[in-house]
A and B are shown apart, each in its own frame.
Chain A
């Protein structure tokens, strides 16, 4: 007898899905199913990467499959009525075809399970070949063979620096000592990057499996996952995953009957960006202030509690099971000569399809942004893309054909970084962006190195006076001098790369600095001190919306008559511009 498969309703409940109201949608489905006594399966999954369509609901039935986007509780009844009961998809709620097709432009290795399986079910992970790579490594491969496989795959550290993972493991494996540690760095701190959060929330077992394989390879029996405290959902799902892995014998003694044993703990970070640097991270796990120390000795020789320690980033580790299963050759078939495999990017800012994408290395920035990401939102123009967060830089339109690989991105002055890609349009001021990042690094400098501690503060002060229209002629030169000194005299990556946002914007958008200083003009009309707002007479119909929204009572005028803005009262918040439907309020130069 033909058994009809049950209908499955899968609600995306990563942080983005929850933020968009996913839990309410899930609850409404539950109510509908319970009250009607329906025999369907309701599940949750993690992030599918299409954050711009959250809340996403996938209904899988024998009649058809519909990923529905922007689902609200009000839409639930119709989806149940039409799709679940009558067997027709609801076309007007579906994610548009071209957005679904954009998934095919990606190459999903790291994100292979994200949005496909329930992150809280080890069974679903196992049924998608989970923990098979671990079994293969333990039963068929020696630790040296594992290291060799990873080395040949060409995998490089995805945390930002791009050091070859296999070589790193080789160092730790050769290091003497019977006690070694394996740490997963999940202290994703770059503003604008959220790949690691999504991986941990959507597929925590792949990271745990990667750690287990790595620990077997280097001979570590104790591991830590150092997670940002700002990621409560990731921590919660990791805890569940670790417990499940323990119950199934993947963590503990004699894993899958071998001699290999491993214990794993979560360490919650306490909020310090510098702890993403490996020696600072180690110091933080030890319970101290998270300050970096001089290397060498490298952690592979002398790390946590003075023992040999290997540290890898979340995305790096999520690659490992796939490489062990499919082989180094398959992995190396993606990418460029020096940058193999794929890279996950977090697309954000002024882009239409904001979310997570995974593409083969070597794709051009243009293709990532305009093809996979579908270009700029709101009819604006592309101005720059920021890569690498506070350590990276802004890449202008003229360099959009740069392929995404470590070396090519470095040549632009930015860095690959962990994968944050913030897209900016013509309304964004590049001097302000430089100020924004300097403010960040200045706050996060641990204070150990003088040039980083004081130099970043001086740079910030200069940038603050430039955006306020009080810049001095020599300021650009002074910025360049400080940038050089800070880069040269800082101990860790934070200080060495802190000037990058300033250096790249100076390189590609120098005219913006100059016009701020020389003419007291912000070309993007973004810097508050340098602009004012004016009503365009021909456009204003006197509707009064701007009067209502103005917090400073700066707009006056009678109904249906031309309104006027009092520049002295105006606090330049821009709310009137956002509110005006007629485009009747313009940002104009103040000086």
Chain B
């Protein structure tokens, strides 16, 4: 329970920091998501309240940007790159194999809440294609065989 109260206090601090700043909504949502891992309805209402904007505005902004999530995420986030270079180097297969091994479709989280598998547009490591990022670790020049090895690191 105490972490819950701690988080609420931190959110309160974030909100008061940005209360009178123009353009604060996106940084607040980013920090709130950093705190909770995702944006629940409850959090979005609190943000609206704290910044003095309508909940519909908060929801509208949050749903516009792909960075924001509305359901809990796993312990590790896998970002499978689907940029042009990765696409022509077999990203589709890598993601497929990863999804099969984890037993979840892209965009979803495993039942044990260990991994969330995401497809992303481009990680900008095109010369190492195909690329997968797990949390902040980047794995390049992947082939099917390395998928299992990578998942085993976590």
Surface stretch bound by B, among A115-123, A270-278, A405-413: A270-278
A52 within 8 A of B: yes
Q: Do B93 and A574 touch across chains, with their CB atoms under 8 A apart?
A: yes
Q: Do A348 and B85 touch across chains, with their CB atoms under 8 A apart?
A: yes
A420 vs B25: C-alpha distance when bound (angstroms): 32
Instruction: List, in ascending order, chain A residues with CB within 8 A of B68's CB.
Output: 270-271
A480 within 8 A of B: no
Interface 0/1 of B49-68, CB less than 8 Å to A = 00000000000110011111
A389 vs B26: C-alpha distance when bound (angstroms): 27
Instruction: List, in ascending order, chain B residues with CB within 8 A of A209's CB.
Output: none
Extra contacts besides A193-B126, A271-B66, A422-B88 (14): CB < 8 Å: A20-B140, A192-B85, A194-B125, A194-B126, A230-B123, A230-B124, A273-B121, A285-B23, A347-B127, A348-B129, A350-B88, A428-B88, A433-B88, A437-B84
Instruction: List, in ascending order, chain A residues with CB within 8 A of B93's CB.
Output: 573-575
B138 within 8 A of A: yes
Surface stretch bound by B, among A11-19, A75-83, A136-144, A250-258: A11-19
Interface 0/1 of B117-144, CB less than 8 Å to A = 0001111111111010000101111011
Surface stretch bound by B, among A38-46, A102-110, A287-295, A503-511: A287-295
Q: Do A284 and B125 touch across chains, with their CB atoms under 8 A apart?
A: no
Chain B: which residue is nearest A265 at the CB level? B23
A154 within 8 A of B: no
Q: Do A194 and B66 touch across chains, with their CB atoms under 8 A apart?
A: no
A485 vs B33: C-alpha distance when bound (angstroms): 40
Partner of A287, one of B25, B125, B140: B25
Q: Do B120 and A230 touch across chains, with their CB atoms under 8 A apart?
A: yes
Instruction: List, in ascending order, chain B residues with CB within 8 A of A350's CB.
Output: 88
Q: How far is the CB of A537 from chain B (nearest CB, A)?
A: 25
A549 vs B148: C-alpha distance when bound (angstroms): 13
Chain A: which residue is nearest B84 at the CB level? A192
Q: Taking A191-B122, A230-B120, A578-B143 as contacts, is the C-beta distance between A422 and B22 under 8 angstroms?
A: no
Q: Do B122 and A190 touch across chains, with their CB atoms under 8 A apart?
A: yes
Partner of B128, one of A20, A188, A288, A422: A20
Instruction: List, in ascending order, chain A residues with CB within 8 A of B65's CB.
Output: 269-272, 290
B112 within 8 A of A: no
A286 within 8 A of B: yes
Chain B: which residue is nearest A49 at the CB level? B127
Partner of B85, one of A270, A349, A573: A349
List B62-105 residues whose CB lies under 8 Å from chain A.
Answer: 64-68, 82-85, 87-90, 93, 96-97, 100
A270 vs B90: C-alpha distance when bound (angstroms): 27
Number of A-B contacts (CB under 8 A): 147
Partner of B30, one of A16, A270, A354: A270
Instruction: List, in ascending order, chain B residues with CB within 8 A of A444's CB.
Output: 121
B27 within 8 A of A: yes
Q: Taking A229-B67, A573-B96 as contacts, is the C-beta distance between A422 and B84 under 8 angstroms?
A: yes
Instruction: List, in ascending order, chain B residues with CB within 8 A of A273's CB.
Output: 121
A295 vs B67: C-alpha distance when bound (angstroms): 28
Q: How far is the CB of A385 from chain B (nearest CB, A)?
A: 11
Instruction: List, in ascending order, chain B residues with CB within 8 A of A433's CB.
Output: 84, 87-88
Interface 0/1 of A221-253, CB less than 8 Å to B = 000000001111000000000000000000000
Instruction: List, in ascending order, chain A residues with CB within 8 A of B82's CB.
Output: 191
Partner of A16, one of B26, B61, B140: B140
Q: Taking A271-B67, A436-B84 as contacts, is the C-beta distance between A284 and B126 under 8 angstroms?
A: no
List A47-79 residues whose CB lies under 8 Å from chain B.
Answer: 51-52, 54
Instruction: List, in ascending order, chain B residues with CB within 8 A of A575's CB.
Output: 93, 144
Instruction: List, in ascending order, chain A residues with CB within 8 A of B140's CB.
Output: 16, 19-20
Chain B: which residue is nearest A51 at the CB level? B127
A287 vs B88: C-alpha distance when bound (angstroms): 36
Chain B: which residue is nearest A273 at the CB level? B121
Q: How far is the CB of A231 from chain B (nearest CB, A)?
A: 7
B11 within 8 A of A: no
A424 within 8 A of B: yes
A476 within 8 A of B: no
Give me 11 A-to-B residue pairs in the complex whose CB atoms sit less than 8 angstroms apart, sorted by A's number: A20-B141, A51-B127, A191-B122, A267-B26, A272-B66, A287-B22, A305-B22, A348-B127, A349-B88, A355-B127, A574-B93
Q: Do B64 and A194 touch across chains, with their CB atoms under 8 A apart?
A: no
Q: Do A287 and B121 touch across chains, with their CB atoms under 8 A apart?
A: no
A260 within 8 A of B: no
Q: Do B30 and A551 touch across chains, with their CB atoms under 8 A apart?
A: no
A150 within 8 A of B: no
Q: Do B23 and A287 touch across chains, with their CB atoms under 8 A apart?
A: yes
Instruction: List, in ascending order, chain B residues with CB within 8 A of A386's CB.
Output: 84
B29 within 8 A of A: yes
Interface 0/1 of A1-32, CB less than 8 Å to B = 00000000000000110111000000000000
A278 vs B65: C-alpha distance when bound (angstroms): 16
